[in-house]
Structure formats: structure tokens, C-alpha cells
Structure 1
Amino acid sequence: MISRVSIESEVKNGITQLKSAFFNTPFKVVDIREDKKNPLLELILMSSSPGVLDEDELYFDYTLNEGSQLEITTQSFQRLFTMEKSAFQETKVRIKENAFLSYLPHPCVPHKGSDFKSSNAIHLVGNSSVLWGEIFTCGRKLKDEVFEFKQFQSVTKIYKEDKLVFFENLYLKPSESNPMNLGQYEGFTHQLSLVFLNDLCEIKGLKKQLDSFLNDKNCVFGISETPTNGLVVKILHDKAEKLMLWMKEITKIIKEHGL
């Protein structure tokens, strides 16, 4: 199945609204903002499908016009089912002047025998900013499917004024290299990755806040400053629910620190 979602936001009277939205089976885009005076538009991406199936192609296109503030979440875990061939997902994002996107999806769960690749390209201009999250899991642990997928790859590229400023390639092929080995997950099974880029934020102070927040958590983490004004947060753990909770709390700290 080939599925597409296209969203464009704009600002009217200081409030971010949907300028246009297109989606086909199995997706639906729903506005979940409770306070209609809140400048931030909150959308949830819903799906009637149980997950990603063999030979699925998923295309997402998000455009934030000048001054837009948009947060996108998902309905449920993204399950990657057993595949004979493979499946693919492509996301393209354009964030214009003074606009901000927060993308906080549920964890990805690759089932035994799945083969999946995703490509994310995010384009920033001027004072636009982004908070981009991803939670990867080893598979269905309760069914003893720990790193039993064929292959998983997630490539994320962020451009500033068409110049590549951030690149990440998460590539796992357990048949060739055991992810539990030294120098990789080392006994952990889940990973949270968050990247935040914002030219106007006081990054060093934010880094100290996040360090303080994570220091008393039962996890392994690292926080790095990016070459541009931003941070990358990585957390290893063995529970998806914990990572989801921490992702939301980290997002709250970032917003309170100032965008």
C-alpha cells in the first residue's frame, strides 16, 4: 500500500492553524488542541492499520509557514510486521522563518523478520527551530523477539539554509552484528534520540538542566552540543514507556527554558 500525509500550517491572528491537510488510507490527522487560543497547534496522526506491512510505502510532508508552532504526535506504537521483502517511509519537513516543529512519535517496534528503512529530511531557514524525537525498540520482548528483525535503518538529515548541519544514521542488521555487543547497546534494548536546534536558545544552560534531570534516572544517557546552536540527547533503557515519559518531560523542560 502507498500512503501519503501532507500538512501545511499558517498563522492567523497569532494562532497556528491548518492551512491544508491531505491524507489517505490508513491515516487520519486530528486536531487535539483543547485551548483554541493556544498559539501551538497540536495534531495527532492516527492510523486504522495495525502497523507497517510488507511492501508498504509511507510518505509524509510537513510545511510550516512563517511563525507557525506545530506539535505532531502519533496514536500508537509503530509496529513493523514480518516481511518477505521490505517497507519504506519518507518524511520531508520545511520549517520557515520563526516557525517551530515538535515531532514526538510513539516507539517503533520491529517484529521478527521485518525489514524497514526510513528517511527524514528537515529544512530550516532563518530563526526556525525543530525538536525531533525517535524511540527505537528491539522488538516484542514479551514474545522473546529481541533483535530478530532482518534490518532496520533510520536516516535523519537536517539542513539550515540548504546546508547539512545534522546527520544521523541508525542502522542495525542483527545477522551481521549483534546490537547487544560492547560499544553498541551493551545489554540495553531501547533507545531514545532527541535533537533540538534553535538559534536563539541558551544551550549551555539547557544542557545543565537536562543533565540534572537525567542524572537520577536509571538509564545510560549522553547530551551533546551540535555544531549549530542545539543539543542531541541519547538515552538507553529497557522500557519503552519510561522513554516516552522522559521524552515528554524533556520536551517540557525545553519549552520552559525558552524557544
Structure 2
Amino acid sequence: MAGSEKLLLSSIHDVSPRFEREVDRLTERIERATGSARFAMLVVPDHWDRAPIAADPAFQRRLRDWADAGVEMFLHGWRHRDDRPSGFRARHLTAGEGEFLHLGQAEAERRLVEGRKLLEDVIGRPLTGFIAPAWLYGDAARTALTALSFPLAEDHFRVWRPADNAVLARGPVISWASRSPARIASSLAFAGLARAALGPQRVVRVALHPGDTGVPALLRSIDRTLRRFARTHRPAGYADLVREGARAAV
């Protein structure tokens, strides 16, 4: 990859049988706006204990088909739910979904091991990495990722390699929130600012969620954002950051 080449990393969060229809809509949106099928899916093995992928052979086949078509697969927690949300980040940055924020190391490792085995058995290949629900990690979760040699991880402001903590990309994730009118308004404002300000960024990350599909204004903003960056940044995969040894350049 040329040193000056800019990359667009698009992702769909909360991929689960609970949101299959919404995932399909977001997949179509990314492909239409960017002209590419290069994007990532963040998969939850049993979203809120209501949608176990292990018991859904039809959804397993869909995941395998997506992976065969080149979609990158990340483990995205185990259940996407924090049973004891406390502290500023847990209360204000997510609606009780910071699953890996308060786990001890042993429990974090257990969920990481079981989630990786389940999904890799389903898709028939290694996962690209792990991204915590709501991008929230406790210290124990970070230690567990390093101990288990996950190839990539991501939070709100960086992509890194847990094995040695090397930062592969920096910059804020562009995402949208649909939980309240105030959050909708603020995410629309941030996306507009990002379209104007992040053009020089070498790596731009755009993250979509199932809830986005229920708000037309968010969908319009998503389309504008994807189209804008697809003009200047090559739609790419997270694995490109590893293969090419990319580092963030603002």
C-alpha cells in the first residue's frame, strides 16, 4: 500500500439473528454508497441472551457466506450487556451494553475464548479481531486480549494490536446514535463536522448500528458520509492495517 493512500474502514455492529433484517439493509447501504463490499461485521454470539448463534444454523450459513465473500468478521463481546453498569462511561456512553468494562480477567478470557471458537468454527477461518461492545474496555479485558493474542482491537479513538500495543490507526470513529432525539441531533452534527474535518485523515472509520435503520435522517447522513469518504479513501479492510504495517497519520 502506498504510504500516502487513504483508507475507509466501514463496519456494521451488533450482527446477530435479532437484527438480521437491519444488517441486510446496512450491508446494501455500504455497498451502494462506496461501490465496494469491503467492510467488517461485528458479531455478537448471543445478543442479550436472546439470540444464540449456536442454535441458529440458518444464520450460521449467512455468516459463512458473508465471510466467503470477503467480509471481515470481528467478535463483538458475547452478549453485549453489562449486568452492573456503573461509573460515568457505563452510564453515559452506552445503555447498559459495556459488557467488557467491568469483567475480571478470568471471565473476560472465558468469553473471548468461547466466542472466538464459536465464530471461527462457523466461518471456517480466523477472526480479524475483537471490538468490545460500545468500544468500552476495562483493564482486565485489555490484559485478556493480549494474553489470548487477538490480532486487532479497536476503541473510539484508535485501532491497535494487543500483542504489543502498537497503534495502527488513530482518529475518532464516525457513528450515529438513535436512542433519543438529543443523541440523534448530536450524532448528525458530529457526522457533518467529520465530513468537513477528517478529509486529511489517513484512516477514516465509519460504524453503523441496527438502530440507525429506523431513523431516516440518520440514514441520509450515513449515505452522505460514506459517499464523501469513498471519493477520497479506498474502501478497505482492517487487516490491511496489519499487512501493510500502517500507522495513523493525521
TM-score range (shorter-chain normalised) is under 0.3
- Larger RCO (CA within 8 A; separation ≥ 6): 2
- Tell me which structure has the larger Cα radius of gyration: 1
* Structure with the higher fraction of residues in strand conformation: 1
What is the TM-score normalised by the length of structure 2? 0.28
